[in-house]
Amino acid sequence: MAIRFPSTDYFNSLKKLMEADQARFRRLGFIDTTFGVSVTHNETSRDFVLTFEVFELKEVREVEKIDIAQVDFVIAGDAAVWRDMLENIRRNGEADAQHDLNTLAHFGEALKVSYAEPEGHDKLYRFMESIQEFFDLTSQIEVGF
Partner 1 sequence: MGYLATTNFFEDREFVDKWLYTIRTGELDLSWMKAGTEKVRPHVENPRRGLIYRDINLGSYGVEAIPEKVRLNRSFAPRGAEIPEGVPDAQPWVSRKSELWAHNTDGYYEEAVTRQWNATTDIPWDRLEGVELPEAAGKALSQLMTFLTEVEMIATDTPATWLPRLNPDFIEVKAFIAAQVMDEARHTEVFRKRALTTGFGLMKASPMNEMALKHLRDADSFSEMSVALHLVAEGNVLTLFRFSEYLSPTDVDKKIFRLVMQDEARHVGYGMQHFKWVLEHFPQKREILHGHLDEAENISFAGGAATELTESFIVLAGGGLKRENIEKGVRITTAFQLKQMQEHFERLEKCGMPERSSVDRSKLWAMFEMGKAAAAEAGIRF
Residues forming contacts to partner 1 in the complex (CB under 8 A) are 26, 28-30, 32, 54-56, 94, 96-97, 100, 102-103, 106-107, 117-119, 122-123, 125-129, 132
Could you tell me which residues are beta bridge partners of residue 34?
A: 51
Q: Which is nearer to partner 1, 62 or 119 (CB)?
A: 119
Exposure string over 111-138, b if 16+ CB within 10 A, otherwise e: bbbbbeeeebeebbebbeebbbbbbbbb
**Residue closer to partner 1, measured from CB, 13 or 123:** 123
CB of 117 to partner 1, least distance (A): 6
Indicate the residue among 45 and 102 with the shorter CB distance to partner 1. 102
**Neighbour count for residue 141 (Cβ, 10 Å):** 17
